[in-house]
Amino acid sequence: MTPARWPHRLLSLVVFLGAVSTFSQAQSSTPEPLPIMPLPASVTPGQGEFIVDGQFRMAFDGFTEPRLFRARERFLATLFSETGIPFVREVALGTSVEGTASDGAAHFQIHTAGPSAVIQQLGEDESYRLAISPDGVRLTAANPLGVMHGMQTFLQLVRITPHGFTVPALTIDDKPRFPWRGLMIDSGRHFTSIPVIERNLDAMEAVKMNVFHWHLSEDQGVRVESKVFPLLQQKGSDGLYYTQEQIRHVIEYARDRGIRVVPEFDMPAHATAWFVGYPQLASGKGPYQIERKWGIFDPAMDPTRESTYQFLNLFIGEMAGLFPDAYFHIGGDECNGKEWDANPQIQEFKRTHNLKDNAALQAWFSGRVQKIVVSHHKIAEGWDEVLQPDTPKNVVIQSWRGRDSLLDAAKRGYRGLLSHGYYIDLNQPAEEHYLVDPLEGIADKLTPEQTASILGGEATMWAEYVNDENIDSRIWPRTAAIAERFWSPQQVRDVDSMYSRLAVISEKLKSYGIENEAASERMLERMSGDPNPEALRVLASVVAPPRGYAREELREYTSFTPLNRLVDAIPPESNAARVFRDICKRIVAGNATSQDWQTAHDWLVLWRDNDAKLEPLLAKSDITEELIPVSQSLRYVAEIGLHALDSLHSGQASTMEAQKQDLATLTNAEKPQAVLLLMVAPSVELLVKSVKVQ
């Protein structure tokens, strides 16, 4: 193997080829995983393949509706993007839908038994059957939701072969494991523009997610136009909000993709931006400004005044009319109670109402708000904190604090969703999210009915450190692994298979407009001022943002801080470091191949020699200057790694002193620098520690 000059690309190749070899086996009679994510409930392999060419025609029978024809247009557009083949539409775009029903000559025949609900409901039938033979494709489903899922499965199967673009013959019977498979986007902290929302809905459709949870208000902004209380957006959004027309557009766009839109208006805390225009809602004296920092802040709604509930009744009424979904999220997290403690009238209220602490006061508030929500014909949903002794039984609990609270809720008869473990803002590897199961360690403690009350889960994209530019790389492709957790059978949990297929879906998502890789590349070019920042790419491929909440400890950030540095450009997970770690593990376990040894060597040489090329480039830009020590660290780590590799290969021993010194250097290299972690250092430590010491 020659030295890898482009490790991140090379790595995607390594991962991809692994995936492809798996899939070629899949074409034999053994039911190996197909390049589909999420994996279907059941696959029966067939013989041969179906060829996608310019003759390809689709037709519907059974129930039809305009949404299905739009789904076909979208399908054909994606299929064009996957093949470059122009497909003939049976019918003029945007005109009547006549002539679109059954057509004997069609190669892709779709049968829809009946309609789905006018307003998409939790728990609707989403199953489908996709039967592909060399002669044609037949997709059948109870309603358009299943049809749309089956179309996505088909699109994922398209590949180029010596016979053209083809799909393997097989029969898939598929349905979701959980009825609530969500992605939350926090448009409060950083505004998310409509095209970004749209392409993320497209990607959600691709991986069969069905709930877009839209976090629409925060200390940093109220993002929805209210006609009843216009000062919310006029004073609380910096002009960055969605008009009601845009909201309606997004809801329609989502419905077209089988996705429900659940709005969240966080209260009583995380609401500073409301108070800029309406200080009378707050528990403090004011005046209030839009919050520019990140964290937990004191401002909270005043739960003791009737005017608060009058306001909320009007506001929730307006929003309940805007958002058709049956569920309405009222937040409820992280109220620190400081404004309440500082307000004598609120203290007095607690005493007169026998509310022993702020949790009880918040429960009192939540109870009132839940009644308002119900009065507007919605089901309330909230974060863990809303679960209190008197919480009405129909409130859905979204657990961000852990599975224990989910278990607790289910036992007490509440329906729940898991988000703990799916916090995609925390820069965890896909593997960790993937292995979190909403029912693991819970199911055997519950009755079947209680188990069924766990509806699924949601990946949560909190937006302190994401904006329009890098949000795709934070959500995708990792969220596809979470989507598989929510859709596929519980026993689907092979991590290697997941990573193989994740690499494929990451490529496919380009056809849906997702810019995870492209945006990263543009940002590297921009920060370096170099149209081909090769050495910077090498460094970028082996670093990752700090995990969890470490980032805010390392540097001060506000909503004005540019997110244009290396930490913002790189994906949350270093594929290079992951593959290198696996190689190092095999080396120290004594089961490495000669290819493993060669790859480890080549990469370490690449990393060692990179600093000399990179340093002059880094000095040219005030954004990259801070990377100089990181690049040096990589060199030191690689030098140590090469030495350890040689020792391991030759069986030569090291001295205690040398090992100690190396480990000290590595410990240092493992500390964050420039808000970055050097992800290959721990693997080199593994090598060093397994060298014999004299």
User: What residues act catalytically?
Assistant: 334
Cβ proximity to its own copies: between 300 and 617 the closer is 617
Residue from the set 1, 117, 121, 238 that interacts with its own copies by CB under 8 A: 238
Whether 542 contacts 573, CB under 8 Å = no
Residues binding its own copies: what is the number (CB under 8 A)? 63
Residue from the set 234, 347, 451, 668 that interacts with its own copies by CB under 8 A: 234
Write out the binding residues for its own copies, residues 555-574 only, by CB under 8 A.
559-560, 562-564, 568
Min dist CB 108 to its own copies, Å, is 18
Q: Which stretch binds its own copies (CB under 8 A): 36-44, 205-213, 520-528, 582-590?
A: 520-528
Min dist CB 562 to its own copies, Å, is 5
Ramachandran class of 674: left when φ > 0, alpha when ψ lies in -120 to 50, beta otherwise = left
- The SS3 call for residue 171 is strand
Mark 299-328 with x for binding to its own copies (rule: CB under 8 A) and - for no binding: ------------------------------
Residue from the set 71, 430, 483, 527 that interacts with its own copies by CB under 8 A: 527
What whole-number distance in Å separates Cα of residue 336 and Cα of residue 344?
16
Residue from the set 83, 347, 451, 668 that interacts with its own copies by CB under 8 A: 83
Contact flag: residue 70 with its own copies (CB under 8 A): no
- The SS3 call for residue 658 is helix
Write out the binding residues for its own copies, residues 173-232 only, by CB under 8 A.
none
Contact flag: residue 518 with its own copies (CB under 8 A): yes
Residue from the set 28, 30, 95, 491 that interacts with its own copies by CB under 8 A: 95
Cβ proximity to its own copies: between 258 and 571 the closer is 571
In 3D, which of 294, 45, 7 has the Cα closest to residue 36?
45
| Terminal C-alpha separation, the chain | 33
Residue from the set 9, 70, 649, 692 that interacts with its own copies by CB under 8 A: 9
The count of C-alpha atoms lying within 13 angstroms of the C-alpha of 75, restricted to the half-sphere facing its C-beta, is 27
Cβ proximity to its own copies: between 138 and 190 the closer is 190
Say how far residue 455 (Cα) sits from the centre of its chain. Answer: 18
Classify burial at 389, counting beta carbons within 10 Å of its beta carbon; exposed 0-12, middle 13-18, buried 19 or more: exposed
What whole-number distance in Å separates Cα of residue 259 and Cα of residue 181?
9
Whether 411 contacts 478, CB under 8 Å = no
In 3D, which of 532, 533, 547, 553 has the Cα closest to residue 627?
533
Q: What residues have CB less than 8 Å from 381, skipping those under 6 apart?
A: 262, 264, 327, 328, 329, 330, 395, 396, 397, 398, 417
Give, in degrees to the nearest 5, the angle at Cα 476 between 473 and 481: 145
Contact flag: residue 401 with its own copies (CB under 8 A): no
Q: From residue 291, give the alpha-carbon distance in Å to each of 217, 265, 280, 325, 561.
A: 12, 16, 17, 30, 13
Residue from the set 103, 432, 525, 639 that interacts with its own copies by CB under 8 A: 525
Cβ proximity to its own copies: between 517 and 670 the closer is 517
Residue from the set 111, 338, 526, 585 that interacts with its own copies by CB under 8 A: 526
Applying CB under 8 A, the residues found at the interface with its own copies are 5-6, 9-10, 12-13, 16, 54, 81-86, 88-89, 91-95, 159-164, 233-234, 237-240, 243, 467, 469, 503, 507, 510, 518, 522-523, 525-532, 534, 559-560, 562-564, 568, 619-623, 625
